[in-house]
Structure 1
Amino acid sequence: MRPLIVLAITGSIAAVRSFDLCRELCRRGFDVQVVMSGAGTEMITPQAMEFASGREVITRIGGKIEHVKFFGKNGKASLLLIAPATANTISKIAMGIDDTAVTTFATVAIGTKRPVLLAPAMHRPMYEHPIVIENLEKLRSKGVRVISPLEEEGKAKIACIEEIIFEAERALSHKSFAGKKVLIASGAFGEKIDDIRHITNTSTGKLGAELARRLGVEGAQVKFIGNGPVESGIDAIEEHYADGLERKVMAELESGYGFFFCPAAIPDFSVKKSIGKASSSKKISIDLIPREKLIGKVRKKFPRLRIVAFKAVWKKRRNEMEKICREFVKNSGLLAVAAIDLSKFTPDAAEREMLFYSAGKKKILKGTKEKIAREIIELCSRQKN
């Protein structure tokens, strides 16, 4: 059953972004019920939000006592997300005033201790008003989570959609990695041929970025080393070369991590690098020297670290992949491994298939990288203890 989020919209011009926020929440696996204040309906129409959510929009409380239906003791909503939240609405909620559909929903949600998120949006002087600051602190003390706005151009602009959704997902997650330190190495890594050229691979780094995001949602303290479309809120160190990755991973692990996820596309060979710029006027040869695997080095130095590895194969049958995974887990002492046959998928394929193997059990994972990352984290959480 899909979690139900009530998206409450108030009278900020940032309400024009609520349409995209609603659509993205639906895409991420949530059902969305939109509630709007009268001022909110002047910024974006209820008809637009009905189209975005697929549900009739609530603009006033009627005989159906909608606020109780969604946030009463047996209410069906999982979370109240007020985005955008104006200074007026914030202050009313803090004072227990419920004179709009939005503030009435907030009163009931706070009263039944449901998760409530606020995404403020207003001019900066309003956001810095001592009473508004006091009211935000008052709401925080009651368990309301405030998603900090972007302070620029004299305004406290609503946070980006990705951050809002991240906070919503985190509020509803099981916190299966709460308090755990997790290091992720991800991306495409190259080998220098000379001082200006290098060879690399076609990895996009998207799976590692999705793993980092999902682990953050589940409460982990995440550090990311590598490259790829990692979100701005993730603590990340950029690296594009195999030697640099190895040095940074080994150094970072010294600070004490519980888990190491390694979907990094690391070259199997190192290159004997030329000094300067190799001449293009004559034929040259490149010496490829077999490289010691990073997973092996990490395991030797950190024998108690729980490692989740990723394996790329080419044109292997299912039983062959299972054997490869089984031996990899056994020989390297892994928590788990996820393998993919790259002969069947392009790097940017919308959906793919992976074989997940852990503790003698296997599972086929299918879907987008986002979906696969979510499943990998869920499966690893069951094995982590």
Structure 2
Amino acid sequence: MLEGVNVALGITGSIAAVKTVELAHELRRQGAEVRGVMTDSARGIVHPWAVEFATDDDVVTEITGGVEHVDLCGYDGWADVLLIAPATANTVGKIAGAVDDTPVTTCATTALGADTPVVIAPAMHEPMYDHPGVLEAIETVESWGVDFVDPRIEEGKAKIASEEAIVCAVARAAGDRPLAGEHVVVTSGATAEEVDPVRVLTNRSSGRMGRAVAKACYARGADVTLVHGVVGPRPVSREPALSGGDLPYADVREVETADDLLAATLEACEDADTLVSAAAIGDYTVETSPEKLRSGQDRTLDLEPTPKVIDEVRDRFPDLPIVGFKTETADDDGAMIEAARKTLDRVSLAFVVANDASVMGADRTRALLVHEGDAARYEGTKTGLGSEIAASVAAMLGDQASDG
């Protein structure tokens, strides 16, 4: 998600500084190069050697004649983005007042002057976060284009945001944001049809693919709504979330049945610029028994087809660009492309992602991106495929804007 991105990681004197070693590791796992910058107060909480180990680079603990702040964050500086995590109330206030008395605040002033993107993840006690002066400082700094990653309010503390939230914010800040101003609706996960109060008909989808697309679209600047099919005890809100079950990169609407997913998708598409229909929607439903069906007996279930979501969306929104997914069990590229093209033509889709059923629930995938005139093969992680799909969506919407 952060391949090729250089992150200057500013660490200040919040107790949340103990989490920055793992944060630095996560930034690097996502592809970033990281260099640490620490205040004296931060050095009292986490040793610079730990940050050096986590970043595999020297740590800036003072500004010397080497003008480290300019080297990192100035014009043509090393950093693509300055991330301050955690940021104390003291640091946020100083940045708002252009006070430069620590290596971190000096880097911040330099980055703001050089138009280097800045991301700030505050962490402090809740009463400090609610102080009128702190809130005013945040509003001031936000008005300069700085992205704040909202803290998690728990136990009377404004705790530092999750690593996932911070990584998403850094990716969004460091990128070109070709989807800025666009509303992208993504469906993900599996739907389920109730057989009785205990049993359901469902499938093996984990929702990883849809979430990867949603995250990649967010990183490119989109406002994302994720309509997520939930089965049993596996809600999407198990993932690190900010509040109310929402993910850092999407407004989440959790559903269970195909009808629920259709209703939520139609509602979300009222003001959408595109729909990516990645959910594994059940093809059949059954009449629900109000009581548990007894085991040990022969049983026949009468299956009835569920509505085709992309067909219903196309009928309601004839001009909405829709990206479809087509899952096949035949391990044959030609057959997959043929099936994808039938769906492409039938529903007038922008393009179709065709994949083999064997990848359901897995971390890696093999897929074909089937457009009207060509098809491109992809093999790799679902995160990588999500990025490819988001890039295609951005190109598609960009072409439409140019034509319009």
TM-score by length of 2: 0.88
1:281 is displaced (CA, Å) by 4.7
Q: 1:364 aligns with which of 374, 377, 384?
A: 377
Residue by residue, what CA displacement relative to the aligned partner does 1:34-81 show, whole Å, maximum 9, x if unpaired?
A: 111121111111111112112111112233322111222111211111
Alignment correspondent of 1:379: 392
Asked if the contact 1:214–1:377 (Cα under 8 Å) also holds between the matched residues in 2, the reply is yes
Quickly say closer, same or farther: Cα 1:64–1:173, change in 2 above 3 A. same
> Over the residues paired in the alignment, what is the CA RMSD in angstroms?
2.1
Measured in 2, the distance between the counterparts of 1:200 and 1:50 equals: 48
Q: How does 1:50-199 map to 2 (within 5 A)?
A: 50-199=52-201
Measured in 1, the distance between the counterparts of 2:177 and 2:369 equals: 22
Alignment of 1:250 with 2:266, yes or no, is yes
Residue by residue, what CA displacement relative to the aligned partner does 1:259-310 show, whole Å, maximum 9, x if unpaired?
A: 1111111122232444433333521111223445222232233211111111
Asked if the contact 2:36–2:59 (Cα under 8 Å) also holds between the matched residues in 1, the reply is yes
Quickly say closer, same or farther: Cα 1:284–1:9, change in 2 above 3 A. same
Q: How does 1:295-374 map to 2 (within 5 A)?
A: 295-343=310-358, 345=359, 347-374=360-387
1:83 is displaced (CA, Å) by 0.8
Measured in 1, the distance between the counterparts of 2:285 and 2:188 equals: 18
1:314 is displaced (CA, Å) by 0.7
Quickly say closer, same or farther: Cα 1:124–1:259, change in 2 above 3 A. same
Structure 1: 5+ residue stretches without partners: none
When structure 1 is superposed on structure 2, of 127-136 and 178-187 the one drifting more is 127-136
Provide the secondary structure at the position in 2 that maps to 1:371.
Answer: helix
Quickly say closer, same or farther: Cα 1:34–1:203, change in 2 above 3 A. same
Quickly say closer, same or farther: Cα 1:288–1:39, change in 2 above 3 A. same
1:380 is displaced (CA, Å) by 1.8
Quickly say closer, same or farther: Cα 1:336–1:284, change in 2 above 3 A. same
Residue by residue, what CA displacement relative to the aligned partner does 1:185-205 show, whole Å, maximum 9, x if unpaired?
A: 221112222344211111111
Alignment correspondent of 1:38: 40
1:329 is displaced (CA, Å) by 1.3
Quickly say closer, same or farther: Cα 1:153–1:268, change in 2 above 3 A. closer
When structure 1 is superposed on structure 2, of 35-44 and 228-237 the one drifting more is 228-237
Quickly say closer, same or farther: Cα 1:34–1:278, change in 2 above 3 A. same
When structure 1 is superposed on structure 2, of 150-159 and 270-279 the one drifting more is 270-279
Provide the secondary structure at the position in 2 that maps to 1:44.
Answer: coil
Quickly say closer, same or farther: Cα 1:75–1:327, change in 2 above 3 A. same
Provide the secondary structure at the position in 2 that maps to 1:166.
Answer: helix
Number of aligned residue pairs: give it. Answer: 382
1:9 is displaced (CA, Å) by 0.4
Asked if the contact 1:206–1:229 (Cα under 8 Å) also holds between the matched residues in 2, the reply is no
Provide the secondary structure at the position in 1 that maps to 2:137.
Answer: helix
Residue by residue, what CA displacement relative to the aligned partner does 1:78-105 show, whole Å, maximum 9, x if unpaired?
A: 1111111122222333332222221221
Measured in 2, the distance between the counterparts of 1:145 and 1:221 equals: 15
Provide the secondary structure at the position in 2 that maps to 1:353.
Answer: strand
Tell me the amino acid that sits aligned with residue 239 of structure 1.
V
Alignment correspondent of 2:232: none
Quickly say closer, same or farther: Cα 1:90–1:226, change in 2 above 3 A. closer
Asked if the contact 1:205–1:264 (Cα under 8 Å) also holds between the matched residues in 2, the reply is yes
Alignment of 1:241 with 2:261, yes or no, is no
Measured in 2, the distance between the counterparts of 1:274 and 1:313 equals: 31
Structure 2: 5+ residue stretches without partners: 230-234
Residue by residue, what CA displacement relative to the aligned partner does 1:166-225 show, whole Å, maximum 9, x if unpaired?
A: 211111222222222222222111222234421111111121122222222323232222
Provide the secondary structure at the position in 2 that maps to 1:163.
Answer: helix
Tell me the amino acid that sits aligned with residue 250 of structure 1.
L
Asked if the contact 1:209–1:229 (Cα under 8 Å) also holds between the matched residues in 2, the reply is no
Provide the secondary structure at the position in 1 that maps to 2:236.
Answer: coil
Provide the secondary structure at the position in 1 that maps to 2:367.
Answer: strand
Measured in 1, the distance between the counterparts of 2:170 and 2:321 equals: 28
Residue by residue, what CA displacement relative to the aligned partner does 1:100-157 show, whole Å, maximum 9, x if unpaired?
A: 2212211211111211122222223333344433433332333333333233323222
Alignment correspondent of 2:300: 285
Asked if the contact 2:89–2:128 (Cα under 8 Å) also holds between the matched residues in 1, the reply is yes
Residue by residue, what CA displacement relative to the aligned partner does 1:292-349 show, whole Å, maximum 9, x if unpaired?
A: 5222232233211111111111133122222222232122210111111123x3x332
Asked if the contact 1:326–1:360 (Cα under 8 Å) also holds between the matched residues in 2, the reply is no
Q: 2:236 aligns with which of 222, 225, 229?
A: 229
Asked if the contact 1:177–1:381 (Cα under 8 Å) also holds between the matched residues in 2, the reply is yes
